[in-house]
Structure 1
Amino acid sequence: MSSSNGSPLNGLSLSKPLAVFDAGIGSYAIVDLIRRRQPRRDILYFADRASFPYGGKDRAALLAIIRATIRFLLDHEPEAIVLASNAPSIMVLDDVKGSCSVPIYGVAPPLEEALARSRSGMVGTMGVRSLIESVELPGFVRDRVPDPEHVALIEASDMVDLVESGAFLSDPERTQKAVTAFTAAIATRWPAIDVLTLSSTHLPWLRSFFEQARPDWLFLDPAEAVAAALPLPRSGTGRTVALVTESRTYTVAGFRKMLDKLGVTLDLRVVDPLVRPS
């Protein structure tokens, strides 16, 4: 057990940290946003690469992963937890909140804001396949907007791959061509759309590419609402510690390389995978 001054588990020595987790590099954008808003906050960032991609898993697999991850993070005595991934936030978060002893925040499409800022009244939500094809997302939309038919659900897994592969850093010209073609297809199918939510934590990394492709559209990052909703830290020194798992495909070496390309320096510690979905 740890003292009230912080959690010494694995020598982390963090003071009531905010735990932020996801399976990919995309969620680091949320960590960076929180850090800019709360510079004194201690943050425990967990990148569960062994479970990547969340977006390719069904509801049962996601539920098992998220439950195991929350149990693991609670050992570090966080003040709160952020599930920094849109798909599980929509698909399974309600099922795990009741068993979590600290507040847990998810990331969800800011549909009300999107429609309020749309000139045409037609908006879109971009996300990974599992989210877009889930039974939960249409229900989420119906609960929040009076006219669900005014919200297009747009599968954007190919865009997520541009981030996870690092192509958006290593080959920006190819990335821009891919984003331009993708948005052109959206405009053809839904010509009235003028606001899109970046409803995968990877997609905000492509925001400048989207804005160059469609300067007449507005792109909203759901993470901004999460960061604004978090309580102010009661203690902390502004330290960020990253825990990472790995698989044969998604290695720690690859994760370090991606962080280096982003210019991010982290205290990085490798831990064993929590769940190995079949």
Structure 2
Amino acid sequence: MAKIAVFDSGLGSLSIIKEMQKAFKSEIIYFADQQSYPYGKKSQAQLERIMRKSINLLEKFSPDFIVVASNTPSLMLDLGTNRIFVVKPPLKEAKKITKSKQIGILATESATKSKGLSKYIQENIPKSFKIFKINGTKLVDLVESGKFLTEKKYCEKIIKKKLEILNENQIDAVTLSSTHLPFLKKYLEKEFPNIQFVDPGNIVAQKIYFKIKNKQSKKNSLKIFTSGNTKEFQLKLSKIGIKNKVNFLSF
């Protein structure tokens, strides 16, 4: 029976977990480290400390694999191993889709400014392509605050304002390079119908599937932990249809 621990600073992990549960059956330990939210404004040194503590904490559950379900530390730190999966912008997929050779990477402030992202772009995209690094931190806040569920008009206004760059250029493919952003996909597609938004969730899920396909569980199970307020987080989850009990977990 496969046991997988998944974590980030809040709701973002759920976009990855959703794809994992579609791809295979396993026991999932989900840790929303809300005390450390947002990763997107942390320095590299701060993220290193948070990642080390989080991974050590989750090792107590004896998982087969750990998923760092956030692009920001995945890009800024060297975390990937045979047991630790990371999430990075799906640039290869965006490269196949784009006709204009103009690709947007929608990510957190820290990720867009990181050397890690610049290096990742150099490794995956030819110089004939034009890449736009777009700060999506305000959009991440729409998800983590729960406003994406309750304040539709406000979300539409923020998305339009913060993503003017998409209308000003010939960008036709955008990577959703924060795991929070797939929650906004319907908003994004409505506002920018001619742009394809690429979600890395399925790519990560398939990588894990190949590791555990002969070790699957009979059914999916999900245990949820947060370092924040359990009642508040329980309420957020209930609004998106998740009724599982939320337990407190901290360093």
Q: TM-score, normalised by structure 1?
A: 0.84
Deviations 1:181-221 (A, max 9, x none): 33333322xx1100000000111000000000011000000
In structure 1, distance between residues paired with 2:143 and 2:86: 21
Is the counterpart of residue 264 in structure 1 residue 250 in structure 2?
no
Q: Percent identity?
A: 32
Q: Give the gaps of 5 or more residues in structure 1.
A: 1-14
Aligned residues of 1:54 and 1:87 also touching (Cα < 8 A)? yes
In structure 1, distance between residues paired with 2:69 and 2:238: 21
In structure 2, distance between residues paired with 1:52 and 1:211: 27
1:179 maps to which residue? 159
Between Structure 1 and Structure 2, how many residues are aligned? 247
Is the counterpart of residue 139 in structure 1 residue 125 in structure 2?
no
In structure 1, distance between residues paired with 2:64 and 2:214: 8
1:100-139 to 2 correspondences below 5 Å: 103-139=83-119
- SS in structure 2 opposite 1:25? coil
The offset of 1:97, in angstroms, is 4.3
2:17 maps to which residue? 31
Is the counterpart of residue 252 in structure 1 residue 237 in structure 2?
no
Deviations 1:138-179 (A, max 9, x none): 111111112176111111111111111111111112212222
Q: In angstroms, what is the RMSD of aligned CA positions?
A: 1.6
Larger radius of gyration: 1
Is the counterpart of residue 220 in structure 1 residue 198 in structure 2?
yes
1:40-51 to 2 correspondences below 5 Å: 40-51=25-36
Q: Give the gaps of 5 or more residues in structure 2.
A: none
The offset of 1:254, in angstroms, is 2.1
Distance 1:220 1:97, change over 3 A: closer
1:9 maps to which residue? none
Aligned residues of 2:234 and 2:245 also touching (Cα < 8 A)? no
Aligned residues of 1:211 and 1:217 also touching (Cα < 8 A)? yes
The offset of 1:256, in angstroms, is 1.3
In structure 1, distance between residues paired with 2:162 and 2:112: 16
Aligned residues of 1:183 and 1:214 also touching (Cα < 8 A)? no
Matched to 1:54, the amino acid is Y
Give the one of 91, 115, 130 matched to 1:150: 130
Deviations 1:215-272 (A, max 9, x none): 10000001221011113261434211011112xxxx222211110111112232112x
Aligned residues of 2:230 and 2:247 also touching (Cα < 8 A)? no
In structure 2, distance between residues paired with 1:215 and 1:245: 38
In structure 2, distance between residues paired with 1:97 and 1:153: 23
2:187 maps to which residue? 209
Stretches of 4+ aligned residues off by more than 3 angstroms: none
Give the one of 212, 215, 229 matched to 1:234: 215
Give the one of 61, 67, 73 matched to 1:82: 67
Is the counterpart of residue 52 in structure 1 residue 33 in structure 2?
no
